[in-house]
C-alpha cells in the first residue's frame, strides 16, 4: 500500500473508536430533555459524521434557533460527561496506527466532532501524537463537503491520488468522492455494508 498512498485520513467515531451507541443515546436523551420526538436509533445513526449543528437540523427540521441551540448544548454536555479510555478504541486500532506511522505514512483525522470533543478523546486515548493534523467540523465545513480533506491535503502537501480516506459512514465516503480521493469503508460503525457499498469504496 505504501507504493500507492502517503496520507491516510481517518474518521473518528465508529471508525477508530467504538462510540456509536453512546452518540445515539446522547441524541435521544437530548430530544427527551427538550420535549422533542425521540429519533429512532437508525435515524440517529444516519446523522453521525455530520457536524452536531447539521445533525440536529436533520433530525429535528423546522426547530427555531432557541430550541436548536438547546438541543446542541444538551447533547454536548451529555456526550462529554462520559470518560473515555484507550480501551474504547476498536480492538487493534492503537497498534495499527503506531505501525502505520512507523511505516512512514502521514496520518490524519477528519471528524464531525468539535475541537473540544476531539481533543479530549485524543488525550484520553493517547493518540494525539500519532496524527500530523486533525480537522473538526467546527473549524471547517461539515461532511460531506470536501473542504476538510482538502485542508488536510494542503497542510501535508499531498496529492489526491496519494490520499486515502477511511470511514464508517456514507458521509465519509461521499466526502471522499467529492474530494476525488480513494476510500476504504469499515462496517463497524454508523452504516451497514450494503449502504457503504453504494459508494464504491
Cell 486515502 belongs to residue = 164
Q: Is residue 1 part of a domain?
A: no
* DSSP H or E stretch at residue 166: strand 163-167
157 shares a domain with 69: no
Alpha-helical (H) ranges within the chain are: 20-33, 41-46, 52-59, 65-80, 93-102, 115-125, 147-156, 170-179, 193-196
pTM of the model: 0.93
> Residue 62 sits in which domain range?
20-80
**Digits of tens for pLDDT over the chain (201 positions)?**
668 999 999 999 999 999 999 999 999 999 999 999 999 999 999 999 999 999 999 999 989 999 999 999 999 999 988 899 999 999 999 999 999 999 999 999 999 999 999 999 999 999 999 999 999 999 999 999 999 999 999 999 999 999 999 999 999 999 999 999 999 999 999 999 999 999 999
100 shares a domain with 112: yes
Q: Is residue 85 part of a domain?
A: no
12 shares a domain with 36: no
Query: How many domains does one find in the chain?
Result: 2
Amino acid at each position: 500500500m505504501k507504493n500507492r498512498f502517503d496520507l491516510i485520513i481517518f474518521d473518528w467515531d465508529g471508525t477508530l473508536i467504538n462510540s456509536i451507541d453512546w452518540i445515539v443515546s446522547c441524541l435521544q436523551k437530548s430530544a427527551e430533555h427538550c420535549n422533542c420526538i425521540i429519533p429512532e436509533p437508525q435515524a440517529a445513526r444516519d446523522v453521525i459524521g455530520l457536524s452536531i449543528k447539521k445533525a440536529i437540523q436533520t433530525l429535528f427540521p423546522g426547530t427555531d434557533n432557541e430550541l436548536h441551540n438547546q438541543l446542541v448544548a444538551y447533547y454536548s454536555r451529555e456526550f462529554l460527561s462520559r470518560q473515555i479510555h484507550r480501551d474504547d478504541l476498536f480492538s487493534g486500532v492503537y497498534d495499527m496506527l503506531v505501525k502505520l506511522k512507523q511505516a512512514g505514512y502521514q496520518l490524519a483525522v477528519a471528524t464531525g466532532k468539535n475541537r473540544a470533543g476531539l481533543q479530549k478523546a485524543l488525550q484520553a486515548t493517547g493518540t494525539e501524537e500519532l496524527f500530523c493534523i486533525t480537522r473538526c467540523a467546527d473549524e471547517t465545513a461539515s461532511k460531506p463537503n470536501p473542504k476538510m480533506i482538502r485542508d488536510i491535503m494542503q497542510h501535508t502537501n499531498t496529492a489526491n491520488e496519494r490520499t486515502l480516506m477511511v470511514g464508517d459512514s456514507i458521509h465519509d465516503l461521499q466526502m471522499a468522492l467529492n474530494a476525488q480521493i480513494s476510500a476504504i469503508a469499515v462496517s463497524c460503525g454508523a452504516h451497514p455494508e450494503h449502504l457503504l457499498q453504494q459508494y464504491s469504496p
